[in-house]
Every structure is written in C-alpha cells, then in structure tokens.
Amino acid sequence: MKKLTVYHFALLTIFFATLFQSCKKKDSKDPYADIKGNYFSIRQFALDEWNTFRGEPFTIIKTVKEAQGEKSIKDVAYAKIDSSYTNSDTLNWGNIFAVFFATDISDRKFLGKYTFSQFDDVAEGTRSFYYHADDDDLYTQKLLINVDITNNKVKGIYIETFKKSIWAEVKQNLYYSPMKTIQIQTDEKPIFGARKYKVVQYYYQWSGA
C-alpha cells in the first residue's frame, strides 16, 4: 500500500489549487446537502462507515513522526518513524472520531458561511465538492470531498482546520481514504516555546491481502 507523506500532502494542495483553476466549474448547488439545507456531515459519513465495516477483521499499522523548531515541517519528513501494529477491534477509534467530528459543518448555524464549488475531472473519473470558509475564524477552513463520478462513492476526504488562542496557533490537515488510510497532521505554533509538527497515520491491512 502506498504511504502518504508530508510531500504527498504538498502535492495534494497543489492538485487542489490546479483542479479549481483548470476544471470546469459546475452549478453552485450542493448535492452533498440534505433536504433541510445542511452541508455535508463528516459525523454522519464516519458513522455510516463504522456501521458498514464494523466487525470486519483488519490489521492497522500506526506510524507517528514528530519534529520541533521553525523547520519542523521539512524536518518531520526525515524524522524517525515510530510504528506499531494494532487491529480494528483494539484501536481507540474514539480519539480518531473526535478529531474528525470536530470539523463537522453540517449544523445549520454554518449555512451561508462557506463558499461551495463543484468540479469534474473527466480524465480521472472523479468529481470534487469543495467548501471554503468565508471567515478566517471558522475552525474548519477547507473541506474537499472527492467521489467516483460514476457511482458517487467517496474516494477521499481532505480537511484543513485552524484554531487560534492566546497560547498558540494550531493548524491541521486531515485526510481519509475510505478503508485505506487515515492521516492527521498537526502544526502547532505556541506563543512560547518551539514550533511542533506531528504526523500520525493509520494504514489498513485487510486479512488475506
């Protein structure tokens, strides 16, 4: 299984920027909203995934890379990798869900606070739904959902968050490829002390694969 790295995230960012400029913009109506007008729900999607695959046996490889200092974003690419094996029965899913649930924008209080765009990439056979925060103070700044253009199944979700307090500025890049990879990047710049950068990744390995 191909592993995602910091550089893969950089490529994803470049890809998104290029995609939005080069692909034909579609109707601004959001097909990933329900009849009540809510935006796409990360919480509901995660629960649907959980209910669909709960009980399925698979091994999970967890890797953690950390670095400190002003060059930490670059240094983490060369940092020592701490790896551990777990499985779908013993992994603390609650901690992972909490990270993604915090980014949910489906509450009606968020309506009108995001700009929605839709783009097709015919060559790749994908359709992208993109939400961009209109306010820098919103926790979830970007949400991109990439789906198969033929069956509308989610192929990947990318999220950027930002939180500023009197103590620190914290940015996160989250990525989920259904039943393949989970990645959580955290970039923390405290008022006092060294900048911290951390990448936690979970790789699914199905039995018999």
At 107-127, the pLDDT tens digits run: 989 999 999 999 999 999 999
At 79-90, the pLDDT tens digits run: 888 999 998 888
pLDDT (0 to 100) of residue 189? 93
At 154-200, the pLDDT tens digits run: 999 999 999 999 999 999 999 999 989 999 999 999 999 888 999 99
**Domain count within the chain:** 1
164 lies in which domain range?
Answer: 6-206
What global pTM score does this model have? 0.81
Residue 130 lies in a domain: yes
Indicate if the pLDDT at residue 68 is higher than 70.
Answer: yes
Tell me phi and psi for residue 140, to 5 degrees.
-85, 110
Nearest to 98 by CA among 144, 42, 136: 42
Residue 1 lies in a domain: no
Residue 78 lies in a domain: yes
Q: Are residues 143 and 105 in contact, defined by beta-carbon separation less than 8 angstroms?
A: yes
pLDDT (0 to 100) of residue 168? 95
Residue 75 lies in a domain: yes
Number of H helices, E strands in the chain: 4, 9
Residue 49 lies in a domain: yes
Residue 128 lies in a domain: yes
- Residue 6: count of CB within 10 angstroms of its CB: 21
